[in-house]
Amino acid sequence: MSPADLPHRHGDPAAPAMRLLYCAVSTHLALGGRPGFPQDAWWCSTDPAVHLDHVVTRDSEALIRDLSVKCHTARTSASPARATEADAAGHTPWPGPVLWWAARLDRQRGAAGPAPELADVPTVCRALVDWLHRNRPGLGISALRLWFAEESVHLAVLGGYTNPARNDVDPLSHLAWALRQRPTTVIRDLLDKSREQFHLRKSRGGRAAQTALCTGLLARAVSWSGLPASLPPGAPRTAVPAHWAAWCREVESRGGDEGLWPAASEALRRSAVALVQRERDLVVRP
C-alpha cells in the first residue's frame, strides 16, 4: 500500500491505533534521554498523554513520517558504543520493541530475523497500517491487540510456561490469536500469564526478579494507555521504569511478597481497560 492509497482523517480506520502506537514508541524513545532531541520539546516527555495531545488529529501517513524523523534523530544521536552494542545484540533500542515485532508483518518470517534497520521504519509502519486496514478489528481494540502481542513476547522470552503457546517468541502468533478474541478475553489472558510468570520469577530469582517483572509490565502498560485516571492512587504518572520500581518496592514494604501481585495486576488491568477506552474515544472523536 502506497502513501497515496492510505485513507486520511476520518476515513483512516488505522489512525487511532497508530496514534497510540506512536505514543508508546515516542515514550520509549524519551526514556532513553536522547541527546539529539530539543530539550524544551515535547519529544522529551515520558508522559504518553503529552505525545497524544500533539497527534490526536493526525492520519497514519503523517504519524509514520513523524515517527521516522524521531527514530532517525534518536539513532544518529546515539553514541557509537551504544549503537555497536545494540547491533551486536541483534536489536536496536531506538524504535522500541513495537517496531521489532511489527517488522514481521512486512517480512512474514520468524522472530529470529534481524531487527528493522533505520530505513525500514516507514516500511514497517506502513505494513502495520496495511494489516489494520485489511483486518479491520472491532471498534477500539486494535491497540489492545498490538500491546498484547508486544507484552506476550517479553513474557515468552522469560519462558517456563506449561502451555507451549505462551513460550512462543514469534509476535505474529500472539497477534493472530488476539485477533480472534474479544477484548475481555485478551485482557484476561494477559493477566493470567503475567501472574504465572510472577510466580515463576520467585522460584528463579526471588523478590528482586518479581519486582523487575512488575516494573517492566507496568512501565510498558502505561506507555500505551497513558491515562493517569486509570492507575491506582499513588501510582506513578509516567512510564519511567525507575518510578515503577520504587512503587513496587513501596507496595512490597507494606504488604510483602503477597501484596505486590494484587496491586500490580490491578494497575495492569486498569491500564488495559483505559487503552481500549482511549482508542474508542479516538475513533468517535469528531
Of 18-27, 161-170, 204-213, 221-230, the poorest mean pLDDT is in 221-230
Would you state the cell numbers that stand for residue 89, as one nine-digit string?
545484540
User: Per residue in 124-159, pLDDT tens?
Assistant: 777 777 777 776 665 556 888 888 988 998 899 899
**Nearest 10 degrees: Cα torsion 59, 61, 66, 69:** 180
Q: Judge whether 275 and 224 are in contact, CB under 8 Å.
A: yes
CA within 13 Å, CB half, 45 = 16
Residue that has been written with the C-alpha cell 521516522 in this structure: 68
CA-wise closest residue to 193 among 261, 248, 239: 261
Residues 6+ apart with CB under 8 A from 163: none
Task: Give pLDDT, residue 90.
Answer: 35
141 DSSP 8-state letter: -
pLDDT of amino acid 34: 63
- To the nearest whole percent, how much of the chain has pLDDT over 70? 72
Q: How far apart are CA 260 and CA 4, in angstroms?
A: 49
Tell me the three-class secondary structure of 15-43, residue by residue: HHHHHHHHHHHHHHHHHCCCCCCCCCCHH
Given a cut of 80, is residue 51 above it in pLDDT?
yes
Whose CA is closest to 157, among 146, 171, 145?
Answer: 171
CA torsion 128→51→276→65, rounded to 10°?
-20
pLDDT tens-place string over residues 69-96: 887 777 676 555 554 444 433 334 444 5
- Are 97 and 153 contacting, i.e. CB atoms less than 8 angstroms apart? yes
Taking the C-alpha atoms of residue 267 and residue 219, their distance in angstroms, rounded to an integer, is 10
Domain ranges of the chain: 7-135, 142-284
pLDDT of 8 higher than 50? no
Better-scored residue on pLDDT, 191 or 61: 191
Neighbours of 216 (CB within 10 A): 17
